[in-house]
């Protein structure tokens, strides 16, 4: 903050370009920097990119959901492995052939199993896993409910006949003499 305040005046004083021109230039620089960094993060090679931008964006979205079987924790969109490249090309081929996104996913799952999907699907086989948090919560709620119920059931108890008699005797005694310690 301080450094910025100190440097600002000279820049303004020597301003040969207008404020809007400066803005345009800084935006341009920012965009260039963005483009450079975006390129370095891409595993997708230029020769893979489809001509149709709509298909290409679908291909990118699908590739980001598919696991690279070689590097396992990367999507094929991120991975530089040769197999990932082959699979990216297949995704694009299938899209060009008119497959829906779901059909492309099914194609991959048929060959590599559900493991190829980075986001696991819900099915009867893993239903228990998905339901586990809810089940544990329900179990806890049940335990708490019955625990409290039992405690409530225990608290109010009638005196036995013996105790009743002693209590009455004590009361009668209390009426006769003043209470002690008060």
Partner 1 sequence: MSTPDETPGQMPGPVRPRRRLWLVALPLVLFLALAGLFFSRLETGGDPSRIPSALVGKAAPTIALPPLEGLKGPGGTPLPGIDLAALAGKPTLVNVWASWCGPCRDEHPVLMQLAKDGRFNLVGINYKDAPENARRFLGQYGLPYQAVGVDPRGRAAIDWGVYGVPETFVVARDGTIVHKFVGPLTAEAVNGTLLPLIARLSGS
Contacts with partner 1, residue ranges (CB under 8 A):
69-70, 72, 82-83, 86-87, 90, 109-115, 154-155, 157
Sorted by sequence, the CB contacts under 8 Å of residue 146 that are 6+ apart come out as: none
Element (H, E) at 174: helix 161-176
Q: How far is the CB of 152 from partner 1 (least distance, A)?
A: 11
Q: How far is the CB of 50 from partner 1 (least distance, A)?
A: 19
Q: Which CB sits closer to partner 1, 152 or 182?
A: 152
Q: Which CB sits closer to partner 1, 18 or 160?
A: 160
Q: Which CB sits closer to partner 1, 69 or 95?
A: 69
Token reading at 63: 């590739």
Burial of 92 (0-12, 13-18, 19+ CB in 10 A): buried
Q: Which CB sits closer to partner 1, 21 or 113?
A: 113
d(CA 84, CA 68): 6
Q: How far is the CB of 45 from partner 1 (least distance, A)?
A: 16
Q: How far is the CB of 6 from partner 1 (least distance, A)?
A: 56
**CB–CB of 76/66 below 8 Å?**
yes
How is residue 82 annotated by DSSP?
A: H
């Amino acid at each position: 903050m301080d450094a910025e305040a100190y440097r600002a005046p000279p820049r303004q004083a020597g301003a040969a370009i207008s404020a809007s021109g400066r803005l345009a230039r800084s935006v341009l620089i920012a965009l260039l920097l963005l483009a450079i960094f975006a390129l370095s993060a891409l595993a997708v090679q230029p020769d893979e990119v489809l001509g149709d931008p709509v298909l290409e964006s679908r291909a990118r979205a699908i590739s980001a959901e598919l696991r690279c079987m070689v590097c396992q924790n990367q999507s094929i969109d991120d991975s530089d492995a040769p197999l990932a490249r082959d699979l990216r090309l297949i995704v694009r081929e299938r899209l060009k052939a008119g497959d829906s996104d779901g059909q492309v996913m099914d194609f991959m799952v048929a060959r590599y199993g559900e493991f190829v999907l980075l986001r696991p699907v819900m099915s009867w086989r893993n239903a228990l896993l998905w339901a586990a948090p809810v089940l544990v919560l329900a179990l806890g709620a049940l335990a708490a409910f019955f625990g409290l119920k039992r405690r409530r059931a225990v608290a109010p108890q009638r005196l036995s006949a013996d105790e009743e008699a002693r209590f009455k005797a004590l009361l009668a005694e209390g009426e006769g003499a003043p209470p002690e310690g008060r």
